[in-house]
Amino acid sequence: GQQVMQIPQYQHVQEGEDFTTYCNSSTTLSNIQWYKQRPGGHPVFLIQLVKSGEVKKQKRLTFQFGEAKKNSSLHITATQTTDVGTYFCAGPEWAGTASKLTFGTGTRLQVTL
């Protein structure tokens, strides 16, 4: 089945530093989704990218979908303590009669003052 890997598994930054997490799929994706999970919380949808090479921004967050639609990245500029959490990418996998959403392994971000 489809494998979705993320690197790094963990990153610790000082507030104000930038952060990037990378997502790689073993198969071509129809879209890529990103979620954020705060400590002790549940995953919350951030964004969906659909087009090859697409770039979307949400304030300090920049999301990119690779040209081959097999990889994606999330970049946070000037991190803040509110960015703490685990970031997951997720891609749909066609299962014959319907799609199912496969999540990456996640990148845990820790931000200190």
Partner 1 sequence: NAGVTQTPKFQVLKTGQSMTLQCAQDMNHEYMSWYRQDPGMGLRLIHYSVGAGITDQGEVPNGYNVSRSTTEDFPLRLLSAAPSQTSVYFCASSMGGNTEAFFGQGTRLTVV
Q: Does 98 bind partner 1 (CB under 8 A)?
A: yes
> Which one among 22, 30, 51, 53 touches partner 1, defined by CB under 8 A?
30
Q: Kindly identify the residues of this chain, within the stretch 31-70, that bind partner 1 according to CB under 8 A.
A: 31, 33, 35, 41-45, 48
How big is the chain by its Cα radius of gyration, in Å?
14
SS3 at position 81: helix
CB nearer to partner 1: pick between 44 and 68: 44
> At its nearest, how many Å lie between partner 1 and the CB of residue 68?
18
From the number of C-beta atoms within 10 Å of its C-beta (0-12, 13-18, 19+), residue 92 rates as middle
Q: What is the 3-state secondary structure (H, E, C) of 89-104?
A: EEEEEECCCCEEEEEC
9-28 binders of partner 1 (CB under 8 A): 9
H helical segments located in the chain: none
Which stretches of the chain bind partner 1, using CB under 8 A? Answer: 1, 6, 9, 30-31, 33, 35, 41-45, 48, 88, 90, 92, 95, 97-106
